[in-house]
Amino acid sequence: MSKPLNSATLNSIVARVTDRIAARSRDSRSAYLARLEAASATPRREKLGCANLAHAFAACSATDKEGLRGGVKPSIGIVTAFNDMLSAHQPYERYPAVIKEVVRQAGGVAQVAGGVPAMCDGVTQGYEGMELSLFSRDVIALATGVALSHATFDGALCLGICDKIVPGLMIGALSFGHLPTIFVPAGPMPSGLSNADKAKARQLYAQGKVGREELLEAESQSYHAPGTCTFYGTANTNQMLMEIMGLHLPGASFVNPNTPLREALTEEAARRIVAMTQPGGGAPIGRIVDERAMVNGIVGLLATGGSTNHTLHIPAIAAAAGIQLNWEDFSDLSAAVPLLARVYPNGSADVNRFHAAGGMPFVIGQLLDAGLLHADVATVWGDGGLEAYRAMPEVSDGGALSWRAQPTEQSGDPSVVATVAAPFAAEGGLRVLTGNLGRGVIKVSAVKAEHRVVEAPARVFDSQEGVQAAFRAGELDRDVIVVVRYQGPGANGMPELHKLTPPLGVLQDKGFKVALVTDGRMSGASGKVPAAIHVTPEVKGGGPLGRVRDGDVLRLDAEAGTLDALVDAAEWDSRGAPPPASEDAGHGCGRELFGLFRNAVSGAESGASVFGLLGR
């Protein structure tokens, strides 16, 4: 019998869930590690033929060419998601040149191995392009695989931040799990118009009380500079995940772009990846991402009230490492993990205030001291496990990078970052719902207690445009549970329905009991209206959500974890799903290119991926 992965001081629920995942994944993880070992046993550049090797360094400088020709200097592949339309990724334009020079000084050679697409969900939100968004994650994984397939690299640096980009890079990098790999962030933009004032402007626009010009001005003051959006949505949850899983340098997630500290951290990541290529220099990514690291990631998601999109992404990432997760793992851990962060939409603060209050180093320290994280994990920072991630980076006037230990008694702003002893909530921010409508997830960290149980008649739609039209016509001014069906991955790619947040928020503010139930997704920025999302099986696959009719009384109970139609059982069982209102959702804006994906995608609980369980 194998030794359990947990340690003596670990919380019993965290230990039990970790061991359950390890047992469930025993065969698939073993097969993955066997492939990793086989790849590690084969030297990389040494196996290339002369013509292959000459192609690999043909465009290099004489110095770099000599380093690669001799097979002695480590070769680092840069996989970049740079584009200058996506604000979070615009800073990456300068990174390759900086990295190449620092790697050269450290005794290696760096090359851009390839680029991956990086779409902005903020641009495509509410439009046809959003139906490509989730599938872009798997395209990014494929592009990462293409970039690293040249078999000339000893290590990799992944440059990516936003919603589908980091999960896609992770999935692709894990297929080359024998390579040491570091993720290099670029940080959030400085604070602009507050997220609360932005949300208010959106609701006023939805009510027709301000015009397009006023709304555009508010949005422009909010999204105003290079860097990630400052709310705690999927992009910033990605950064939390990379740090708590040990794939960033300690404290690197939320340092603003184009600052001395950001530059110093990028340069240190370049030096560190060279060191990791040396014998005993560090673990490859396939070893770092084990069952313990995945559980640490889920704990971080719950403790910070992160994006619901990660109930899709984390299982898909785990599968790429041969690890099998399900929503019960999230649910069981949520009962043990307290909510330690109040960052918009779970509060008024943005990620810059979160970081200034102690951010990830403080949260990690609190969770470690409470036995809620595995401390004895491999990280890109080397020996010491996750304990090294308690410290906050800083840079001196002379440019020297160092790390400062964080206080343990209280954060710099207890209204934004709490302690385990006095959390914002005793349980995590995500819950699983189960009932005769299927299984779904709900983000409760931003939903007030009085809104967490809604029992009301249903109004059924096949698109978010239909919901918005009904809202404008005043048809939803009542207690209502809005059902939006045919939004699953197999139907139309599972777009986010973020544009429903303002009108539903208006209805809730009027005093109505309001909720959303859908087999689609909501943005990580969505919050105050209870939303049962990712409902699976999806309607296109015969899911019971398709049986709901206008006027059926539904009950969403986030406290009890139930999601039911209160319909006579015989009547319920006699129903099927009517066809979608539109049969032409697969054309236009590139959607016809993804028909193969829609027909091959897995269900939401297993990650809504076209890859299936990669580790099996």
The closest of 555, 553, 457, 535 to 494, measured between CA atoms, is: 535
Q: Contact 140/164 with Cβ under 8 angstroms?
A: yes
> Using CA atoms, how far apart are residues 55 and 550, in angstroms rounded to an integer?
63
589 is in an annotated binding site: no
- How many Cα atoms sit within 13 Å of 419 on the Cβ side? 10
> Using CA atoms, how far apart are residues 103 and 271, in angstroms rounded to an integer?
6
Q: What is the SS3 string spanning 222-282?
A: HCCCCCECCCCCHHHHHHHHHHHCCCCCCCCCCCCCCCHHHHHHHHHHHHHHHHHCCCCCC
Strand partners, 158: 79, 183
The closest of 103, 136, 115, 163 to 489, measured between CA atoms, is: 136
How do beta strands 75-80 and 155-159 pair? parallel
Q: Contact 457/551 with Cβ under 8 angstroms?
A: yes
Cα-based angle 90, 156, 147 (whole degrees, multiple of 5): 75
60 is in an annotated binding site: no
Query: How distant, in Å, are the alpha carbons of 204, 205, 507 from that of 502?
Result: 9, 9, 9
**% helix / strand / coil in the chain, to the nearest 5?**
45, 15, 45
How do beta strands 75-80 and 109-115 pair? parallel
Strand partners, 439: 434, 536
Q: Any residues with CB less than 8 A from the CB of 475 and at least 6 apart, and which?
A: 459
For 43, other C-beta atoms within 10 Å of its C-beta total 11
Q: Does residue 537 have a cis peptide bond before it, meaning omega lies within 30 degrees of 0?
A: yes
* Type and span of the H or E element at 51: helix 50-57
Q: Does residue 250 have a cis peptide bond before it, meaning omega lies within 30 degrees of 0?
A: no
The closest of 40, 77, 70 to 53, measured between CA atoms, is: 70
The closest of 290, 359, 353, 277 to 321, measured between CA atoms, is: 290
> Using CA atoms, how far apart are residues 489 and 195, in angstroms rounded to an integer?
29
* Helix residue ranges, H only, 393-534: 464-472, 489-492, 501-509
Numbered residues of the known binding site for [4Fe-4S] cluster? 162, 229
Numbered residues of the known binding site? 162, 229
